[in-house]
Amino acid sequence: MKKRYLIPILYIAFLMLPIYWLVAMSFKTTNEILSGFSLFPQTFTLENYAAIFTDPTWYWGYINSILYVSLNTVLSVCVALPAAYAFSRYRFLGDKQLFFWLLTNRMAPAAVFALPFFQLYSSIGLFDTHLAVALAHTLFNVPLAVWILEGFMRGIPKELDETAYVDGYSFPGFFVKIFLPNIKAGVGVTAFFCFMFSWVEMLLAKTLTAVEAKPIAAVMTRTASSAGYELGLLAAAGTLTIIPGAIVIWFVRNYIARGFAMGRV
Amino acid sequence: MAQIKLSNLKHSYYPNPQGPEDYALKEIDVTWRDGGAYALLGPSGCGKSTLLNIISGLLMPSEGRILFGDSDVTALPPDQRNIAQVFQFPVIYDTMSVRENLAFPLKNRGAAPDKIASRVQEIAEMLDVVEMLDTRAAGLSPDNKQKISMGRGLVRDDVNVVMFDEPLTVIDPHLKWKLRSKLKELHQRVQATMIYVTHDQTEALTFADEVVVMQEGEVVQIGTPVDLFERPQHTFVGHFIGSPGMNVLPCQATGDHAMFEGHEVALEGPVTGDGGTLTLGVRPEHVAIGESGVPAHVTKVSDVGRHFIVEAMVGQTPLKAVLDHGAPEQGSEVRLSFDAAKTRVYRDGWIATQERGA
Amino acid sequence: MRTENQKAWLFVIPVLALVAFNALVPMMTVVNYSVQETFGNNQFFWEGLGWFEQILRSDRFQAALGRQFMFTAIILAIEVPLGIIVALSMPRKGFWVPVCLVLMALPMLIPWNVVGSMWNIFTLPKIGLLGYFLNDVLGINYDMTQQPISAWITVVVMDVWHWTSLVVLLCYAGLVSIPDAYYQAAKIDGASAWSVFRYIQLPKMKAVLTIAVLLRFMDSFNIYTEPFVLTGGGPGNSTTLLSIDLVKIALGQFDLGPAAAMSLIYFAITLLVSWVFYVLMTKDDQP
C-alpha cells in the first residue's frame, strides 16, 4: 500500500470517531453513561431504540421530517427542470441577473428569514403543516437545483434537441422521452442535494412547526432540555437521523464527486 | 542518441497472466535504427500504445529488456530516458505562456537561462510559432497546441527518441496534412529517431521510412511502405494496408502451384512447410481480366475516379480487382488472371512461398 | 451556442414565483420592521434609519461581526488546504473510491442539530470520548462549557469535521477530470511533484475551488444550528456568532426593529463579500 493513503485513512478515522461515539452511546444504559467512561457499551441495550419506536412523538418526528423533505425534493426538482433548461439553452432579457438573484437566495442566512417566515406562513394558514416547511426550504433548494441541473444540461449538445425536432417530437415529448433520460444522473444528483439540504436544515423547520408537522430534530431539542440529560435516548435518535442520509448517498455514490462539483467539471 | 533495442518484450496488464490471451504484448523483438522515422501501425487495441508507453518508461514490461545503445534502461523512469512523447490530446500547461511551455523540460533539468532562451527561439522558428511565444498557451487552437507539445519534445537536444501517439486525432482535416509535412520536415532537420503511432495507413506510409505493423500484441511485419504493399508477410498486413485490401482466398497447394476453386494458379515460388490452413493472397491491383484464367461472374463495378473496382464471384468466393481501364459490364462472365510473381500462399496467416531467386 | 428566445421566460416563471414568494414577501417584512419601532399591541412608529445606526454603532454587533469574520477566516484557512491535501492523496480508481467518498460525505448528511448534539456528547468531560481522552489521559484541562478557548477550538474542529469533505469532494472531482496524458507528459518533462501540483493540478482545480470557497464562505457565515446546540453561544458570549446573536434578539427578546435592521446589514455583508470573492476568483478567466 502506498504511504500517501495514510492521509485519507486518518481523515476518515477523524470523521468516524464522533459518529462511532454517538452510535456507542445509543446502545448504553443511562446508568452506564453517567457512571463514567467506557469505550464500548458494557451492557448492550436496545431500550433507547425501543423507547423511540413506541413513543408516537418520537416516530412521528421521523415521519414528519421524511414527508416534508420528500415534498420539497419533488417540488424543487419539478420547477427547476424547465428553468434550468431555459438557462442552458436560451439567452433572454435579464437571464444573467435572474440567475444571480436566484443564487443570492442561497446566500441568505436562514436566521434572517426565521421570523418573517413564521409570520408569512401563519397569515396564510399554513403554519404547522408539512407544506409550509417544504415551501420554505425551496428558498435555498430551488436555486441550488437550477444551478446543478443547468451544469448537467449544458453538457448535452444542442444537436440532440434539433435531431428530436427533426424526428417530429413535440417539445414535451422530447423533454420527457429524450432529454430527461440523458440527464438522469443530473436529476438524481439534484434530488440528492435537495434531500440533503432539506433533511439537515433545522432552524426554519423548527420555526414553522409546533405539533402536527414537528420534525425529528425539534423533538430532540425538546428531549434534551426538558427531560434532563437522557443522553442514550438522544444518541439513539441522532443515530437514526444518519440512516436516511447514508441510504440516499449510496444510490448516487458513482456521481457524487461530479455532483458536488455541480456538474461543472 | 542511440539505437533502441527491444528484446523479448512481453507485457500483461494482469498480475498473473495465464495464457497468451492475457498478454497485451506477446513477444516483441524490434531494433530501431538511430535517426530513423518509424511508424507503428495497427488497429485499435493491438498493443501499439502499450509498446509506446514501455519505450517511454510510463509502463514497466512484465518481461524482457529495453536497450538504448548499450545501456539497459528497463528500470529507468521516463525523465531519465531522454525521450519525448506527444500525446493524442495536446498536453499544454494552461497557466504558462508558450515560451514557458517550451522552456519547461529544459528548466526542470537545470539548463542555463541563456541556453534555454536560444533553444526555445530556435524551436519556435522551426515550428512557426515565434509570434505567439508570449501569449498564454490556454487560448491556442488545437493544432497550435499540438505544435507546442511537439516543441516541448524537440526542445531538448539530447533526446534519444520522439514518440507520437496518434497526434493528429483532434486536428481539423484540412490542417492534418500541414502538420504532417511539418513533422516530416522536422525529422529531416533534427535527425532524432521518431516513432509515430497511428491506425491510419496514409499517415503511417507518408511519415515513415519504415513501418512496424502490429496485430493482437504481435509485430507481424517491419518494412518500408513498398515492402508492405508489394510483399506482405502476413494476410493481416495485406488486408490492412491497401484500399481495397489484399484478396485472401481459400486454396490448396502443391509444389509451386495452388488450387483455387478447382483452378490451377501459378505462384511466385515453391510452397514451404506443411500443415495448417492455407490461403491464397493476391492484391486487387495484381488481378487482370483477360482471355484466359479463372472464370468469374462480375457482381459489381464501381468507378472510384482514377480506376475501377471490380467485384466478382469465383464459384462461391468473392474477390476484387482493380483495373485502370476496360472495366467489364456488371453481370458479365469474365476470366481472371493473377500476376504469378505477386501471388502467394499463406499458412495460418503467415507467408509460405519462397521468392524465386531468393 | 445559446439562442435568443424571450419565450424562455415561460420556463422560468414557476421558479420565479416560488422563490419570489419565499424571498420577496419576507424581505419586505424585514425592511418594514427595520424602519419602525414597536411597543407591542401591533402599534408601530416610524424610526427611519435609526436602528441601522444603532446596530452599526453597538459594541455587541461589532463584537459578533468580529467573531464571525474570525470564525470564517479560521475555518477557510484550515478546510481549504486540508481538503486539497486529502483530495490529492486519495486513490483515483478502484473499489475504495466510492467507499471513501460515501464515508467522507456522511457528516454532511447529518441534521445540523444532531451534529451539535453529537459533538456535545463527544466532548463531555468524563463521559465523552474526546473529553475523557484530553482530561484523563493527556491531563489537559479541557471543558467547553467553562473555557472560551476550548469552546472556540471545539466549534472550529466541529466545522472542520462537518464541512472539509465538501472541499475534498469538489477538488477530487476536479482532479479525476485531468487526463492521464498530463501526468505522463509531466513525468517525461521531468517535472517535480510540486510542479505537477502547481502547473497541472491546481489550474484544473481552480474552477471547483472557486465553488468550494464560495460555498464554504456563505455557509460558514450563515452558521447557526451547530454552534448553538453545542455551546449556546457561550461561555459568556465567546462563541456567539452573527446568526446566534440575531436569533437571540429577534426571537428571544422580540426586538423586531433592531433584529430586522441587523438582518439586512448581515445579508448585505454576506452578499458583498460573496460578490467580492466571486469577482476576485473569476477575474483571471476573462480573456
What cell does A160 get?
Answer: 440532440
**Whether pLDDT at B228 is above 60:** yes
Asked if A21's CB is within 8 angstroms of C122's CB, the reply is yes
Give the pLDDT confidence of C238-258 residue by residue, as tens digits. 888 888 888 887 777 767 777
- Check if the beta carbon of residue C170 is closer than 8 Å to that of residue C209: yes
Find cell 459518529 and name the residue: A19
Q: Given an 8 Å threshold on Cβ–Cβ distance, is A107 in contact with C271?
A: yes
Q: Which domains does chain C show, CATH number per domain? A: 60-285 (1.10.3720.10)
Q: What average pLDDT does the segment A254-263 reach?
A: 67
C-alpha–C-alpha distance, residues C216 and C218, integer Å: 6
**Terminal Cα distance for chain A, rounded:** 29
Check whether A226 has a pLDDT greater than 50: no
Cβ neighbours of B77 in C, within 8 Å = 187
Phi and psi angles of residue B135, each rounded to the nearest 5 degrees, phi first: -90, 160
Instruction: Tell me how far apart the alpha carbons of residues A262 and A152 are, in angstroms, rounded to a whole number.
Output: 8
Give residue-wise pLDDT tens across range A208-223. Answer: 888 777 888 777 776 5
Q: Does C43 touch chain A (CB under 8 A)?
A: no
Alpha-carbon torsion C208, C212, C218, C224, what sign?
positive
Of A263, A98, A82, nearest to A180 (Cα)?
Answer: A82
Whole-Å CA distances, C89 to B134, B278, B293, C160, C197: 34, 56, 71, 18, 12
Q: Is there contact between B and C if contact means ≥3 C-beta pairs under 8 Å?
A: yes
**Hey, what CATH class is B4-230 in?**
alpha beta
For the ranges B158-162, B293-297, C71-75, the maximum mean pLDDT occurs at C71-75
Q: How many CB atoms lie within 10 A of CB B43?
A: 12
Inter-chain touch B108–C184, beta carbons under 8 Å: no
Residue among C214, C206, C168 nearest B95 (CA): C206
Residue with C-alpha cell 501517439? Answer: B165
Region of poorest pLDDT, from A26-30, A181-185, B18-22: B18-22
Using 50, 70 and 90 to split pLDDT, how confident is the model at C284? Answer: low
Any chain A CB within 8 A of the CB of C174? yes
Let me know if C155 is exposed, middle or buried by CB neighbors in 10 A (0-12, 13-18, 19+): buried
What is the rounded CA–CA span in Å between residue C199 and residue B108? 13
B105 touching chain C per CB within 8 A? yes
Inter-helix orientation angle A130-154/A95-107, to 10°? 130
Q: If DSSP codes are grouped into helix, strand and coil, which group holds residue B184?
A: helix
Say whether A257 and C11 touch across the interface (CB within 8 A): no
Q: Please determine, for residue B358, whether its predicted confidence score (pLDDT) is greater than 60.
A: no
C253 touches chain B (CB under 8 A): no
CB contact, 8 Å: B60 with chain C? no
Dihedral (CA of B57, B61, B66, B71) sign: positive
Interval B58-67 mean pLDDT: 87
> Does the beta-carbon distance from C207 to A16 stay under 8 Å?
no
Domains B4-230 and B243-351 share a fold: no
From chain C, pick out residues whose CB is under 8 angstroms from the CB of B93.
199-200, 203
Q: Which residues of C touch A17 (CB under 8 A)?
A: 122, 129-130
Is A69 in CB contact (< 8 Å) with chain C?
A: no
Per the CB < 8 Å rule, is C184 touching B58? yes
A107's CB contacts (< 8 A; 6+ apart) are C218, C222, C267, C270, C271, C274
Which subunits have 3 or more CB–CB pairs within 8 Å of chain B? Answer: C
When pLDDT is averaged across residues B325-342 and rounded to a whole number, the result is: 86
B109 touches chain C (CB under 8 A): yes
Going from N- to C-terminal start, the domains of chain A cover 1-45, 55-260
**Smallest Cβ distance to C98: which of A200, A207, A253?**
A253
How many Å apart are CA A98 and CA A87, to the nearest integer?
10
Evaluated on CA atoms A91, A96, A97, A98, the torsion sign reads positive
The pLDDT score that the predictor gives to residue A261 is 64
Query: What is the rounded CA–CA span in Å between residue B259 and residue B239?
Result: 21
pLDDT digits (tens, 9 = 90+) for A70-124: 999 999 999 999 999 988 888 887 777 787 788 778 777 777 777 788 888 888 8
Give residue for cell 506510409. Answer: B205
Q: Reply yes or no on whether the pLDDT at B36 is more than 50.
A: yes
Query: Is some CB atom of chain C closer than 8 A to the CB atom of B58?
Result: yes
Domain ranges of chain B: 4-230, 243-351
Q: Which chains touch C (3 or more CB pairs under 8 A)?
A: A, B
CB < 8 Å to C16, chain A: 83, 98
Q: Which of residues 237-256 of C touch A (CB under 8 A)?
A: 242-244, 246-247, 250-251, 256
A174 neighbors A84 (Cβ within 8 angstroms) = no
B304 has a pLDDT exceeding 90? no
One-letter amino acid at C209 equals L
Mean per-residue pLDDT for A170-194?
86
Give yes or no for C191 touching B (CB within 8 A).
Answer: yes
d(C-alpha C204, C-alpha C183), whole Å? 12
C-alpha cell at C270: 454576506
Whether A83 and C12 lie within 8 Å, measured CB to CB: yes
Q: Which residues from A are below 8 Å from C176, CB to CB?
A: 257
Of all residues in chain B, what percent carry a pLDDT higher than 90? 14
What pLDDT sits at residue A227? 46
Touch between chain A and chain B: 3 or more Cβ pairs under 8 Å: no
- Chain C residue numbers touching A18 (CB-CB < 8 A): 118-119, 122, 129-130, 161
Query: Dihedrals φ, ψ of C102, to 5°?
Result: -65, -45
The residue of chain C with its CA nearest to that of B109 is: C190
Of the candidates A34, A87, A234, which has its C-beta nearest C117's C-beta?
A234
| DSSP code string of B213-275 | EEETTEEEEEE-HHHHHHS-SBHHHHHHSSSS--EEEE-EEETTEEEETTEEEE-SS-B-S-S
Per the CB < 8 Å rule, is B53 touching C179?
no
Q: Residue A29 — pLDDT band, cuts 50, 70, 90? A: confident
Asked whether residue B89 carries a pLDDT value surpassing 60, the answer given is yes
**Three cell numbers, residue B133:** 511565444
- Average pLDDT score over residue span B112-117: 90
- What is the phi-psi region of residue B249: left when phi exceeds 0, alpha when psi lies from -120 to 50, beta otherwise? beta
Average pLDDT over residues B104-108: 89
Nearby residues of B25 by Cβ (< 8 Å), 6 or more positions away: B9, B10, B11, B12, B47, B50, B51, B54, B61, B217
pLDDT band at residue C74, thresholds of 50, 70 and 90? very high
Distance from chain centroid for Cα A134: 11
Inter-chain CB pairs, A–C, below 8 Å: 285
Residues of chain A neighbouring C256 (CB-CB closer than 8 A): 115
Distance, CA of C229 to CA of C246 (rounded, Å)? 15
- Which residues 203-242 of A are in CB contact (within 8 Å) with C? 203, 207, 216-217, 220-221, 224, 231, 234-235, 237-238, 241-242
Cell 461561555 belongs to which residue? Answer: C235
Q: Would you list the DSSP string of A119-133? A: HHHHHTT-TTSHHHH
Q: Which of B112, B118, B124, B271 is nearest to B186 (CA)?
A: B124
Write down the pLDDT at residue C286. Answer: 41
CB pairs under 8 A between B and C: 54
Nearest chain A residue to C105, by CA:
A249
Mean pLDDT of chain B: 87
Nearest-angstrom CA–CA distance, B214 and B236: 9
In this structure, are residues C199 and B97 in contact, taking their beta carbons and an 8 Å threshold?
A: no
Interface of C with A in 83-122 (CB under 8 A): 85-86, 88-91, 98, 100-114, 117-119, 121-122
Q: Kindly state the percentage of chain C with pLDDT values over 70.
A: 92
* A213 Cβ neighbours under 8 A, 6+ residues apart: A64, A67, A68, A128, A129, A130, A132, A133
pLDDT tops 50 at residue B14: yes
* CB-CB under 8 Å, C182 with B91: yes
Q: With an 8 Å Cβ cutoff, are A117 and C208 in contact?
A: no
A33 or C15, greater pLDDT: C15
CATH architecture of B243-351: Beta Barrel (2.40)
Looking at the domain covering A55-260, what would its CATH class be? mainly alpha
**Region at A157 (left for phi over 0; alpha for psi -120 to 50; beta for the rest):** beta
